[in-house]
A and B are shown apart, each in its own frame.
Chain A
Amino acid sequence: MTMLYRIRLPDHASFEDWRPLARQCFLAGLHPHEVEWCTTSEDATLFDLATTLPPAQTGRISPVLRNTCLALLKSMLRHASKDRFALAYRILCRAQQEPALASITVDPDIAQALRMDHQVRRDAHKMKAFVRFRECGADTENTRRNFLAWFEPDHYILSTVASFFTKRFADMDWVILTPKGSIAWNGERCALSHKPCEKASVDDQIDALWQTYYVSIFNPARIKTKAMRSEMPRKYWKNLPETQLIPQMLADAEKRVAEMAAQQPKAPPKFHTSLQKRSHNDTPPQTG
């Protein structure tokens, strides 16, 4: 009977955490089905499995990966799925015999990894879009302005999005808190933590101006809520200052459109009449 091994990784473990263990397993000649990968918060299976990995087999050479495959593993290992480590190890082992594996987009393992990669990217993209900073009172010994944001990402993406925020909001101090850790910036240093945070929020008066803008830029004569929800799924709504207005905007829309349809032509304002007169009397206004 073959021996089975269990490897436990922290929930947030990334490619960097997985890599040395995967290497060790590979050098010890372990098949994908001989390793059970799990995370610290997960209940292990009933069986007691060995947790000390066997030594490397003599003469076994280190695994190699093409760049596309390496990039794919790095990305898909940010996914929150607990199966990610096992899938990544299976791809690593298979790629040794099938070097072009990662390009075979129709292979079931690769298709799955690509799906995860896609979800991770989308999550990062949505985080860049939907984080909302709110200003916290000015720090007395600091002239820099101070902001706080709360966001709930689906995957472990903080390290990939951090530089986007530091390079964009360089001149302010800010913290982004999430259930999967935090990013903090003080103009010089970016501090990343995996420690889960509690939801926190502050009131910011500018949110009211933003809401005014959101309501006014909406055109009640075109309702396309499906398009809106596919790009801004409901799960994000609770942390966005503007989305609470949507039900009212929709409720008013019909009335506003009916009013526009019923309106009678009105006499133009005085301003217009005098403009028209002027353009008839002297030179026509500049055209454009």
Chain B
Amino acid sequence: MKHSLTSRLAILSDAAKYDASCSSSGAGKRDSAATKGLGSTSNGICHAYTPDGRCISLLKILLTNFCIYDCAYCINRSSSNVQRARFTADEVVWLTLEFYRRNYIEGLFLSSGIIRSSDDTMGQMVRVARELRLTHGFRGYIHLKTIPNASPALLAEAGLYADRLSINVEMPTESGLAAYAPQKHASEIRHSMGEMRTHIDAGKEKTLSGKKAPRFAPGGQSTQMIVGADAASDRDILGSSSSLYTGYRLRRVYYSAFSPIPDASSLLPVKAPPLLREHRLYQADWLFRFYGFQFAEITADRPDGMLDLELDPKLAWALANRALFPVDLNRASREMLLRVPGLGVRSVTAILAARRHRHLRLEDLAKLNVSLRKVKPFLYTTGWSPTRLADRQDLRALFVPPPQQLSLL
């Protein structure tokens, strides 16, 4: 049965929504002022938000949700009874451009189930990107999910048009992947990531003759791990992130709490993990990317390797390392201020600027929209010296929020 465009859009965006990535940043500056065409890059505008709290920045769709693989966690696996549909490359091009013209989106995030072969699928996706760039002069954002084992020539062409490429590691551990995605292999995924890293690095350099190397995904690569489908602990997950960020120089690692799906595989746990777990992982990721933390120290003091669900990881770390606090508001290094619970990157920058000219007191922080209640136990300055945290008993009880009833809207 042939579906209308609307119903195919419904099926193929429904099929894409379990991929958390929607970022449109890192592409560098580009616009249509000179070309008189359509599109520009930004530092990641979110054009809408859905009631699940996620941002819509890109048109995130699948070219097709037919798939010859049978990954247990995936709504598109071959053994699932979901409705199947496919777009033609032209339809995706048309939708992207029409959505873009109305300012709904920053661009396209295209992925696909695997049909026939890896190269066949990847070839279709590259065709969409090529048409957008070459035929329509589109200068907005393009993110392509690469298909493992696609030929190097297709990968190089994808990198020429796409701002970002990604390949999902899916499971935090190799054994998890083997159990849930028997047709995928961790070594192949890592190999593809390594290849992409080499291309991306080369794309930033000049060649020996001084010419610029061919463009290759200037927005880098990202990946996603599914949380809570297998037994991996937060320490396992963050350990994996650590090697992904440092070993493969990924721009972003996304964590996606395994979500109930229609016609789920019986291999999957019945209960979804708490969304709070996913949130804590993102907080830990944030501490690594912007606050100078190493992943290992974030989970070092957790006996079971799981992040504390009651306290955010920065506060939990500070309490576990209470001997380091309080710190001198007027002298502490930037690195140390960044570790004070309640101080964000913005407030630390503002503190550093202000204290060059003036001795700061605790009250001054209120002007920077810092919550005094939160930072008070961790800082000292003229007129304020908290009890040494190390001397306080029942410290945790002070910070754990009182139990709350959660309700819809």
Contacts and interface: CB of A to CB of B under 8 A. Distances in A.
Contact of A240 (B48, B68, B118): B48
Contact of B78 (A125, A166, A219, A275): A275
Interface centre among B45, B103, B149, B357 (most CB of A within 10 A): B103
B22 to A, nearest CB: 9
Interface string B17-55: 110000000000001110111111010011111111111
A106 B364 CA distance: 6
Contacts of B291: none
Contacts of B31: 167-168, 170
Contacts of A219: 17-18, 50, 52, 54, 259
A103 B49 contact: no
A210 B102 contact: yes
A217 B289 CA distance: 28
Interface residues of B, number: 87
A197 interface: no
B10 interface: yes
B228 to A, nearest CB: 12
Interface string B117-152: 110000000000000000000001000000111000
A250 B69 CA distance: 33
A260 B264 contact: yes
Contacts of A129: 45-48
A266 interface: yes
B48 A214 contact: yes
B40 A167 contact: yes
Given A167-B32, A219-B18, A103 B45 contact: no
Nearest to B150: A288
Interface string A104-134: 1111100100010000000001001111111
Contacts, number: 232
Contact of B367 (A108, A132, A134, A223): A108
Contacts of B351: 105
Contacts of B263: 263, 266
Interface in B379-400: none
A216 interface: yes
Interface stretch (B180-188, B214-222, B294-302, B333-341): B180-188
Nearest to A102: B353
Interface in A232-288: 232, 240, 242-243, 246, 249-250, 253-254, 257, 259-261, 263, 265-266, 268-269, 271-272, 275, 284-288
- Among B9, B53, B70, B184, find the residue whose CB has the most chain A CB atoms closer than 10 A: B53
A223 B46 CA distance: 18
Contacts of B147: 288
A228 B37 contact: no
A109 to B, nearest CB: 10
A228 B53 contact: yes
A261 to B, nearest CB: 7
A266 B102 contact: no
A232 B57 CA distance: 13
Given A100-B357, A225-B408, A272-B79, A212 B10 contact: yes
Nearest to A285: B68
Contact of A253 (B51, B98, B99, B257): B51
Contacts of B369: 115
B209 interface: no
B60 interface: yes
Given A171-B38, A214-B48, A221 B17 contact: no
A145 B38 CA distance: 12
Interface in B51-84: 51-56, 59-60, 66, 68-70, 78-81
B245 interface: no
A215 B301 CA distance: 42
A279 to B, nearest CB: 9
Contact of B10 (A216, A257, A275): A216
Overall SS of chain B's interface:
loop
B101 interface: yes
B211 to A, nearest CB: 28
Contacts of B39: 168
A261 B260 contact: yes
B360 interface: yes
A228 B48 CA distance: 9
Interface in A130-182: 130-135, 145, 147, 149, 164, 166-172
B52 A218 contact: yes
B1 interface: no
A106 B349 CA distance: 12
A58 B154 CA distance: 74
Contacts of A221: 259-260, 272
A134 B103 CA distance: 9
Nearest to B347: A105
Nearest to B42: A128
Contact of B275 (A168, A224, A285): A224
Nearest to A247: B409
A61 interface: no
B350 interface: yes
Contacts of A164: 40, 42
Contacts of A215: 10
A213 B56 CA distance: 10
B9 A216 contact: yes
A258 B149 CA distance: 39
Given A217-B13, A246-B51, A272-B70, A106 B358 contact: yes
Interface string B343-368: 00000001101101110100011011
9 contacts: A105-B367, A128-B42, A133-B101, A170-B32, A216-B13, A219-B259, A220-B52, A221-B272, A222-B52
Interface of A: 100, 103-108, 111, 115, 125, 128-135, 145, 147, 149, 164, 166-172, 187, 204, 206-210, 212-228, 231-232, 240, 242-243, 246, 249-250, 253-254, 257, 259-261, 263, 265-266, 268-269, 271-272, 275, 284-288
Closest 6 CB pairs of A and B: A224-B53, A227-B53, A288-B148, A268-B79, A167-B31, A106-B364
